């Protein structure tokens, strides 16, 4: 009888209402209550500006790779290889700054993932293309590499609350390789560039194989692409758990 009376008092429904995260509600209200052309910029926190610099490094790396492909000047290639490292520095700093200022935002969390995709997904893929992974199958694998990075970031955003935490509230491990780990591939490409193991010089290490058709055709793929394919699989792996430092 008590349950019946309670349902009647609630309008005849026993459906539970979801609890509202007051922190998120306040953050959303902040953007709704401010008007004007530049309210987005005025609402930026210092950590958000650091995150934007991460994205800037990734975009500048992409432009530098394009300049190298147009001119053949290796200085542009070295510049393109250097900027993802700068992106990593800003990616490391934005969290530190947010904790130091005790101010984080939903906007900053979303920007962090987008900046990481550019600096550690798209930029390394174009660097690999610039160095010589240019066949059709090479580019298919590099595109899958980018998409796996995208999926990895989306999964992190959606499931981070489910990962076990330590006493300080930090996640104990990463599910799959974190996307900034692709800097190891950028380091490998930098070494190959220094050794002249790139297109137009001695060529990509390990050579290539033609799966169908003629050599240099659509059926050719470089063995080095296996490294990028394996890295992509490790990023989206559910069983690979990388302890956080």
Q: Tokens 């650091």 map to which residue?
A: 50
Residue 4 lies in a domain: no
Residue 3 lies in a domain: no
| Model pLDDT, residue 14 | 46
Residue 21 lies in a domain: no
| Model pLDDT, residue 29 | 57
| Model pLDDT, residue 4 | 43
pLDDT digits (tens, 9 = 90+) for 159-204: 877 777 777 667 778 888 999 999 999 999 999 999 999 999 999 9
Looking at the chain, the whole-number percentage of residues with pLDDT higher than 70 is 78
- Owning domain of residue 101: 37-162+173-242
User: Using an 8 Å Cβ cutoff, are 132 and 196 in contact?
Assistant: no
Average pLDDT of 95-115?
Answer: 77
| Cα gap 151→145, rounded to integer Å | 10
User: Using an 8 Å Cβ cutoff, are 95 and 40 in contact?
Assistant: no
Residue 91 lies in a domain: yes
At 105, give phi and psi (nearest 5°): -140, 155
Residue 78 lies in a domain: yes
| Model pLDDT, residue 140 | 97
**Number of structural domains in the chain:** 1
Residue 31 lies in a domain: no
Does residue 95 have a pLDDT over 70? yes
Q: Tell me the Cα Rg of the chain.
A: 23
Average pLDDT of 205-234?
Answer: 94
Banded pLDDT at 15 (limits 50, 70, 90): very low
Q: DSSP secondary-structure letter at 174?
A: E
Residue 63 lies in a domain: yes
Residue 8 lies in a domain: no
User: Using an 8 Å Cβ cutoff, are 183 and 88 in contact?
Assistant: yes
| Model pLDDT, residue 12 | 47
State the CATH number of the domain containing residue 198. 1.20.120.1760
């Amino acid at each position: 009888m008590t349950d019946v009376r309670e349902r009647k008092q609630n309008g005849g429904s026993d459906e539970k209402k979801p609890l509202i995260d007051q922190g998120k509600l306040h953050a959303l209200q902040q953007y709704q209550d401010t008007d004007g052309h530049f309210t987005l910029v005025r609402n930026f926190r210092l950590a958000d500006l650091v995150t934007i610099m991460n994205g800037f490094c990734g975009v500048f790396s992409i432009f530098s790779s394009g300049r190298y492909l147009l001119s053949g000047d290796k200085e542009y290639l070295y510049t393109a290889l250097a900027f993802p490292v700068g992106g990593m520095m800003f990616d490391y700093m934005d969290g530190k700054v947010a904790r130091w200022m005790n101010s984080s935002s939903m906007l900053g969390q979303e920007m962090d993932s987008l900046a990481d995709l550019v600096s550690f997904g798209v930029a390394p893929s174009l660097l690999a293309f610039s160095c010589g992974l240019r066949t059709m199958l090479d580019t298919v694998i590099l595109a899958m590499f980018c998409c796996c990075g995208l999926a990895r970031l989306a999964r992190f955003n959606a499931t981070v609350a489910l990962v076990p935490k330590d006493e300080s509230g930090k996640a104990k491990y990463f599910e799959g390789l974190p996307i900034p780990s692709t800097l190891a591939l950028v380091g490998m490409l930098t070494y190959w560039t220094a050794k002249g193991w790139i297109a137009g010089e001695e060529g990509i290490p390990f050579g290539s194989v033609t799966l169908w058709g003629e050599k240099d055709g659509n059926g050719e793929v470089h063995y080095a692409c296996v490294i990028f394919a394996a890295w992509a699989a490790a990023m989206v792996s559910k069983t690979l758990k990388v302890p956080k430092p």
